[in-house]
Amino acid sequence: MWFRLAVGLCCLVLGCQGQGRSASLRRANDDFTGRCQYTFTVDSPAESSCPQAGAGGPEDEGVRTRLTLLEALVSRLMGERGGVAGEAGLRTAEEEEEEKVSQLQQDKEHLSRQVQDLQRRLEELTVETEQLRQRPCHQPQPPRLSTPDIDPAFQLGSGAFQEMKAELSEVPAPPQIQQGQNQAITSTKAQTTSIGGLSLSDDSGFIGCGVLVSVQPPVTHRKADSITGKYGAWFQDPEPLGPPYGPKTVWRIDAVGKEVKQLFAYEDMEQLIRGFPMKVLPLPDAVESTGATVYRGSLYYQRRLSRTLIRYDVATESVAARMDLPHAGFHGQHPYSWGGYTDIDLAVDERGLWAIYSTSKAKGAIVIAKLDPESLEVTKTWETNIRKNTVANGFMVCGRLYTVASYSLPNTTISYMFDTDTNQSSGISIPFNNRYHYNSMIDYNPGNKKLYAWDNYHMVTYDVKLAQSDSIP
């Protein structure tokens, strides 16, 4: 037995250390003895087989001992392999730690940048807050009427621009008329007149109707806050009908947008300056451009995309008359030089209500129509030789049409005059100032002898001087 064990161990050692030798273990049942037989075979350096060995209980012990040795050997090998794996795992863990550290550093830098951004934003907000504190607050007055106060300044982004085109024209005019007109007023003195119940001071000294001789520099009253006020129309009624609206009431339409249907009423100039209307009147039809006017308690305006004129009673807030202006071009057919669908321009003077427009028959020349202020029927028309798209705007004074040469040049002139009494036009040169370089509306108020204009968001007035026509050479 000990021999076999020794041989087995020897073979085991030889099997492990031998070079090119092979060892094998076989287990089988001995049919004769009924025992389990283990056979361990190793090649001999000299022979191809070992002597056959028998089997027995002690052999089992030997085998167990050998197996124990084998297990120890395997365990040792596994331990070595585990050590290698441990080293690899350690390296992997170190790399993971390094990655974590790198990621944390990146996160830290990112958070630092966020903190810096927030600090900058905080500083900006602090500055804004300080500026807001220093700005005076508006104190809106409570609404007196049913319609809520809505200032155009808060109608941001409502509507799109109307189509505009820029065609500048500066028409030279004979200087002799202007020179003569200026001479006519040099010796006058201030007097007071009254039109439509208004007490008026006319420092030209001339009472009643006459020719226009000069226009003073503009006086700015209000600037529109939003894009809807880039251009518009505003007026005071020269002949108001009475409460709730009087001669001090200021009417305003912000004309930018496709559906302009709001008429703002301000109690007076001071309220206009403060910016909060006493009432907003909803109009039944959209307004086209800046040609509207107010006269004898009604707003007169051109309905959008039509030649229809509307008389809107501001007291009853209803349409009092509706009438087409025969053959009138509209929506860009015959506008003023700045475009803006200014095809039909309504005007008021000492003689009543007028329309300034053109027709296909007139081929773009300005046509003047005298309108019945009640029914809007045309009572008479005049065809001029002034091409409408070469002038910036027009207004009527004492039955005479005056046109401004440029809507954008700061120092332009009133360059043409057409007299409906004589049916004659003449070139003139009365200096006129477009202070804000985009004058989209000019109307005359015979009640206070001022021009009302809307110049690039700004609502301005001009004092004018008149003189007797027979004093002009």
Binding site for Ca ion (CB under 5 A): 345, 395, 442-443
Task: Give the CB-nearest residue to Ca ion.
Answer: 345
Nearest approach in angstroms of CB 144 to Ca ion is 31
Closest CA to 456 of 232, 121, 177: 232
Nearest approach in angstroms of CB 442 to Ca ion is 5
User: DSSP character for 359?
Assistant: B
Give the H/E segment covering residue 7. helix 2-17
Nearest approach in angstroms of CB 436 to Ca ion is 17
What strand order describes the sheet that includes 393-397?
Answer: 393-397, 400-404, 411-419, 424-433
Sequence-distant (6+) residues with CB within 8 A of 53 are 4, 7, 39, 40, 59
* 415, 429 contact by CB (below 8 A): yes
Nearest approach in angstroms of CB 365 to Ca ion is 17
376 versus 391: smaller Cβ distance to Ca ion: 391
Nearest approach in angstroms of CB 161 to Ca ion is 20
Contacts of range 380-386, beta carbons closer than 8 Å, 24 or more positions apart: 382/418, 382/420, 382/423, 384/418, 384/425, 385/425, 386/416, 386/418, 386/425
Give the CA count within 13 Å in the CB-facing half-sphere of 256. Answer: 22
* 439, 454 contact by CB (below 8 A): yes
Listing DSSP states for 27-89 in one string gives EEE-TTT--EEEEEEE--SSSSSPPP----HHHHHHHHHHHHHHHHHHHHHHHHHHHHHHHHH
Pairing relationship of beta strands 211-215 and 198-202 according to DSSP bridges: unpaired
Nearest approach in angstroms of CB 117 to Ca ion is 53
Pairing relationship of beta strands 191-195 and 198-202 according to DSSP bridges: antiparallel
* 466, 182 contact by CB (below 8 A): no
